[in-house]
Chain A
């Protein structure tokens, strides 16, 4: 119904303006012509975008598909430099909760788009695929059962703009482009050098942020460049844990942001030589982070009082190394064929260390610090893209080869072993290490070919047809297509619609993740935990090799741009996904009414219980995106920019796949307990509003950013708890001391808004006035207000 109304409105627009001509365009441009030259060189044009097309950049409002562009001006007006955190304040439908006490996830929290999963977003750097992390989020966080890209590995000062395609695009880019694509364009030719430093902290006195960065551009011959960005960042921990009623109300737990130190490097270089341009782009991030697990009190059976007389808080302190680089060359032939050939490598190593801990089963000789092993991914990719303009039409195509490898490596023996002093508590407390049984090194290859035709039926109607065929060595082949239509009924109105199919290849982390622990029951030894899909026990219990998630996308939208300074867009979308990959619930005789055959299999393999990944669900996500862009040019070089956005995305579960009969339980019991259902359908805000305003003058700037984060739900036991929507306000005042030196003072969430608390519960840990007061699904965290100073020097 909404779509019908929308199109009726579009129709009215079209008919009412059908007699319009290009007079506006000419007269508006004429104003530029009459401007003094010294003002003309300061005119800012509208954002362009490359994503969603293989034919180069174009005005993002003119595209066949909906695109948001976040500029460096928006990104840099913040007291944080973690990209995910900044985007969560600028981009509607971008969700970035700050989970705590969730093992590895604390240190590389996932983000999502449109309420879907972190691995259902494709991230590109200058149009080249960026690898996902090796960490599989397995605790109860948003995005449980997926591995996403860690955007915080990218220094913000290296970024020129971020293009966000709000449409499926697997037919152009391949796997993962289901919720959308984030294309990060690094600063290229002609950017000024800068150094910046930020210091800030929360009004609670913690979360001290110390940051310094440098962007430096070396000009090369023929307008080539070598750009380097360096950043050092130390974000202190925040703690919003309440007192432990069983420990005299003492705050003994950490619940908040981890203490994180990052070193980041980005390079982007282009070296033109005749008609060929050689290029290299790269990112490097080294992160050391620390966060607590749950506190073990003095009398806790997991404690050894000889080591920790007052109890202890295990600290999970991973070291994460992440890098990617692309080296390639591009050019244009005498026949005007543009070509680009490149090699990309991506790497992520997530190495767990545990400190201030012990292995209870080793007794008083237990070490207190452990190397707990880790996970690693490596991606190698070779791609060739060609395109040619044929009159008013464009034809492009390409080939791609990708090789991926996933590894789990074990920790030191003491981190996982079950020793003689406890039947139950083997391994390092807080995070038991990966054992040799978990070790794996699995690879796959992927070949792809695509064709993309942008055909101008008339001057006002463009059709984009794309198709992409892929073959994966593990699960087989895919063939996807896309049809996009852009119609320009008047000089100020554009209608666009698209239909496409897509897919997401099961990640190697989902297929091969294994993390098990050992316990003793009398003389019998059992293991339990996560088993890879091809483990004989998992296969015997119904696990099957994972196949790709399949998707269908429909979008329809309108752009209304009466003049250069005002643009309104509205886009509806539907994304249907089937065979969504999820972890099962814990399969054991203790938790599920399993069949005798299933229980026998568990006993036969000496397994107490297990979790494996499976293609489980069919979902449908529907929503609408509204955008308003308004600029006011004032006198004396002053102006006001306003960007408003509203997004709504609602996911509903439409069905499950067939259950493994042998288990004797339904698929709903196997994958869709109340917690999972609520997390999938209501765990993320269904809607959000972003209102970004900047007043700019020669001497100072003022930025005001108003956010509304919609309500979300979680579960306490089997009870669904809903947390209300909240408004937050960020503000920044920048004073230009000289032409090149700017001092900024700002506040994030200046009214110190916190998410709703859990309310009264019977639980010792979770609830108002308990250790954990807030849901970790809260979309803006729970730190409260944060204030900062930033000094920026351009040169």
Chain B
């Protein structure tokens, strides 16, 4: 009984300590890294901004404040990185890369279609994303990243994906892997 009460008391005392937030999940941190690295290996002819490389997260932001802190000092294609988080398609505005994290396929497809029309590089960790017209899909299989690229969608968006990135990915072209 003493042990049980001790556990409770110490936990209450521990509650009084100042705290920091728990580190971001290892997988999500690596995924956040890949966003910038993907961008380095693609060429977006009609870049949204001449002064900034804009990465927009739509709907949910799985990376929290980490992604803002991480890209604070980074540059992509010689431009500082701006991270934006929006909730709706109407709020996307101009951007170079769109990370899509939505709940339903209907929402996802609408965003993909929007990005295609506006030559935005789309990235998601949702399975089936590349097959649905998204450009880069990243998943973790057995704790290692796997990349799937819809080459046709990239071409249609006017986005050039470099050979080194293609060589590490499963490439969908003509609707096939």
Residues on A lying within 8 angstroms of B by beta carbon are: 3-4, 7, 10-11, 14-15, 18, 20-22, 25-26, 29-30, 32-33, 37-38, 40-48, 58-59, 62, 71-72, 160, 187, 189-191, 219, 221-224, 272, 274-275, 332-334, 336, 458-461, 485-491, 494-495, 497, 499, 554, 556, 561, 564, 574
Residues from chain B with a CB closer than 8 A to the CB of A58 are: 25
Given A190-B141, A497-B7, A554-B7, does the pair A40, B37 have CB atoms closer than 8 Å? yes
The one of A37, A42, A490, A561 in contact with B164, judged by C-beta atoms closer than 8 angstroms, is: A37
Main SS of the interface on chain A?
Answer: mixed
Closest to A21 in B: B20
| Least Cβ–Cβ distance between B78 and chain A, in angstroms | 16
Residues from chain B with a CB closer than 8 A to the CB of A574 are: 3-4
Inter-subunit contact A40/B14 (CB<8 Å): no
Inter-subunit contact A45/B66 (CB<8 Å): no
Closest to A552 in B: B4
Inter-subunit contact A40/B145 (CB<8 Å): yes
Given A25-B66, A189-B127, A222-B127, does the pair A15, B17 have CB atoms closer than 8 Å? yes
A-B interface, 10 closest residue pairs, ranked by CB to CB distance from nearest: A460-B19, A222-B128, A190-B141, A223-B127, A459-B21, A7-B10, A488-B22, A46-B26, A45-B26, A336-B103
Alpha-carbon gap, A446 to B106, bound state (A): 38
Alpha-carbon gap, A20 to B14, bound state (A): 17
Inter-subunit contact A45/B143 (CB<8 Å): yes
Inter-subunit contact B6/A37 (CB<8 Å): no
Residues from chain B with a CB closer than 8 A to the CB of A488 are: 19-22
Residues from chain A with a CB closer than 8 A to the CB of B144 are: 41-45
The one of B19, B105, B168 in contact with A38, judged by C-beta atoms closer than 8 angstroms, is: B168
Inter-subunit contact A18/B30 (CB<8 Å): no
The CB with the most chain A CB atoms within 10 A, among B24, B104, B131, B168, is that of: B104
Alpha-carbon gap, A25 to B147, bound state (A): 24
Inter-subunit contact B128/A190 (CB<8 Å): no
B80 lies within 8 A of chain A by Cβ: no
Chain B 126-168 residues near chain A, CB threshold 8 A: 127-128, 131-132, 139-147, 164-165, 168
Inter-subunit contact B20/A160 (CB<8 Å): no
Inter-subunit contact A275/B21 (CB<8 Å): no
| Least Cβ–Cβ distance between A309 and chain B, in angstroms | 59
Closest to A2 in B: B3
B48 lies within 8 A of chain A by Cβ: no
Alpha-carbon gap, A333 to B37, bound state (A): 33
Residues from chain B with a CB closer than 8 A to the CB of A62 are: 22-23, 25
Chain B 21-80 residues near chain A, CB threshold 8 A: 21-27, 29-30, 32-34, 36-37, 41, 66, 69-70, 74
Inter-subunit contact B143/A71 (CB<8 Å): yes
Given A14-B14, A15-B17, A72-B142, does the pair A43, B30 have CB atoms closer than 8 Å? yes
The one of B17, B20, B23, B146 in contact with A190, judged by C-beta atoms closer than 8 angstroms, is: B146
Alpha-carbon gap, A157 to B177, bound state (A): 25
The one of A25, A189, A489 in contact with B14, judged by C-beta atoms closer than 8 angstroms, is: A489
Residues from chain A with a CB closer than 8 A to the CB of B21 are: 22, 459-460, 488, 491
Alpha-carbon gap, A334 to B168, bound state (A): 35
Chain B 57-114 residues near chain A, CB threshold 8 A: 66, 69-70, 74, 103-106
